[in-house]
Amino acid sequence: MDDLQRKLPYSQFAEQAVLGCVFIDPESFADLATRLSDEDFYLPEHRAVFAAMKQMFNESKRIDVVTLINRLSESGACDKAGGVKYIKLLAESVPTASNVKDYAQIVHDKAVLRRLIGVCGEISDTAFSEEGKVSDIVGSAEQKIYDIANNKSGEDFKNIGDVVMNVVDHLVDLSSDKAGEKGLQTGYSALDKVLIGMGPGDMVLVGARPGMGKTSFTLNIAANVAKSSGKAVCIFSLEMTAEQLVMRMISSEGMVSNNSMRTGKISQEEWDKLTFATEKLSACDIRIDDTAGITISQMRAKLRRVKGNELGLIVIDYLQLMQGDKKYDSRTNEVSDISRNLKLMAKDFGVPILCCAQLSRNPESRKNSEGGHRPMLSDLRESGSIEQDADMVMLLYSDEYYELSKEERNTTRLFEVIVAKNRHGETRTVKMGWVPQYTKFVTLMPEDEEKLMQARQEKS
């Protein structure tokens, strides 16, 4: 059938029934106000009646046939609403208001279908115009469909009694040590005790100066999460290619020298380790996107393709290499907007985001201060809002990074993970070991920490 001959979906009877229920039970409008808007009604007269009802509800005026007709007459919209006779007819359209929610759902569903038809027309027009990048057109199309599918304006307030029960259930699960209830674990026991898990909607920042190991640290955590949770870990790499990332992950997982892998001089023992590592990583659901300068909307479009509850963690390396979705008057404002939208994205998808961030040069100028070169929250580059938006901030630091020569840095050394912000727990510094030849961070036993401290003192 030709599109021009098709009728847009709507239900005249459902629209009449919704409005009729309000005349029978004016209190029912409190529920309708969160479920419907006047734009959800297809027929103009119904739209006008609902709009007038909404005005009266917002003004705490009682809604009945007489008061509504009076309101419509005062605003000159009575004829637009079908006239006095039609409004009286609406009041008699249903015998009871008990099914008002069912009628409202029908009206809402028909409105969603009409919006979908409209958006599909817009998408079709854009595609026919052949203007702009195909990737941008596809991303925009996905966003429009997603916005319709995830319209949350109809959600009610959450009753505290229901929320209390959810919290109690969660506490019961925690006390019985159910897996996953404490959030995603980093795989480093000492660090996990401080963070108490990366929860749904958390934005977790890993900040460090260049060359300090932030990419390796986040990749180690990503692999640990993928292995322990069984969920998809989506990595957006804006600096390195997918192949470079996987090389590092194989080196860490198999404890194979990164130098051996880069030169191709691999011993039989290392080949055996590589085989083990590749099999283990291949069994994980790790997805890598290495698009340079990716935007938030492009990220969202790609993440929406991950089915249902399969998504477990989003990793971004790194924040300052991302681009905003519009033009900004300063880079600071752009990074601030990106940061805010990353937090919203974590909340919308219901998973934590683990995001690397570059620190400013300030730590280098603090050599003679009490904390030495140790980084602080204020060192996050280009935007103070990064610190505000994050739920957790981990800053990586090693004294030896500044004290050792480039050759000496390739030895195992002591590292500090400074938990500088933690919305869910305490802030503390966790000591870890860094094994550069395997690009791997490891949890330190007390005796290991003592040995590294002793070796460091002997060199100084």
Question: Average pLDDT of each block of 10 consecutive residues along the chain (460 residues)?
Answer: 70 93 90 85 93 86 90 89 89 88 93 90 87 78 76 58 70 63 82 89 89 89 91 90 87 84 84 88 89 82 77 89 77 82 88 89 68 76 72 86 57 81 88 85 71 56
Q: What is the largest CA-CA distance in the chain?
A: 97
Q: Are residues 140 and 191 in the same domain?
A: no
Q: Which two tokens stand for residue 124?
A: 């079709």
User: Which CATH number belongs to the domain containing residue 405 in this structure?
Assistant: 3.40.50.300
- 240, with CB counted inside 10 A (0-12, 13-18, 19+), is middle
Specify the pLDDT at position 50.
Answer: 92
Q: Are residues 186 and 143 in the same domain?
A: no
CA–CA distance, 415 with 432 (Å, rounded to integer): 5
Tell me the torsion sign for CA atoms 362, 368, 370, 372. positive
Q: Are residues 255 and 381 in the same domain?
A: yes
Q: For the sheet containing 311-317, what is the strand order?
A: 286-289, 232-237, 311-317, 353-358, 203-208, 392-397, 413-422, 429-435, 440-443
Q: Are residues 287 and 406 in the same domain?
A: yes
Q: Are residues 409 and 266 in the same domain?
A: yes
Give me the long-range contacts of 159-164 (CB less than 8 A, separation at least 24). none
Q: Are residues 135 and 210 in the same domain?
A: no
Angle between helices 268-282 and 242-254 (to 10 degrees): 110
Q: Are residues 405 and 319 in the same domain?
A: yes
Give, in order, the Cα–Cα distances in Å from 436 to each of 215, 222, 394: 12, 18, 19
Q: What are phi and psi of 147, to 5 degrees?
A: -60, -40
Query: Cis omega before residue 318 (within 30°)?
Result: yes
19 domain-assigned: yes
Q: Are residues 189 and 144 in the same domain?
A: no
Q: Are residues 282 and 426 in the same domain?
A: yes
Pairing outcome for strands 311-317 and 286-289: unpaired
Give, in order, the Cα–Cα distances in Å from 25 to each of 19, 95, 109: 10, 11, 23
157 domain-assigned: no
Q: Are residues 204 and 351 in the same domain?
A: yes
CA–CA distance, 235 with 281 (Å, rounded to integer): 14
171 domain-assigned: no
Q: Are residues 191 and 116 in the same domain?
A: no
Q: How far from chain centre, in Å, is Cα 258?
A: 33
Q: If DSSP codes are grouped into helix, strand and coil, which group holds residue 23?
A: helix
Q: Model-level pTM?
A: 0.66
∠430-196-335 over CA atoms, to 5°? 80
Specify the pLDDT at position 154.
Answer: 47
Tally of domains in the chain: 2
159 domain-assigned: no
Specify the pLDDT at position 16.
Answer: 93
Q: Are residues 100 and 200 in the same domain?
A: no
DSSP for residue 5: G
388 domain-assigned: yes
User: Domain range for residue 214?
Assistant: 179-459
162 domain-assigned: no
46 domain-assigned: yes
164 domain-assigned: no
CB-hemisphere CA count at 13 Å for 109?
8
User: Which CATH number belongs to the domain containing residue 64 in this structure?
Assistant: 1.10.860.10
Number of other residues whose CB lies within 10 A of the CB of residue 160: 9
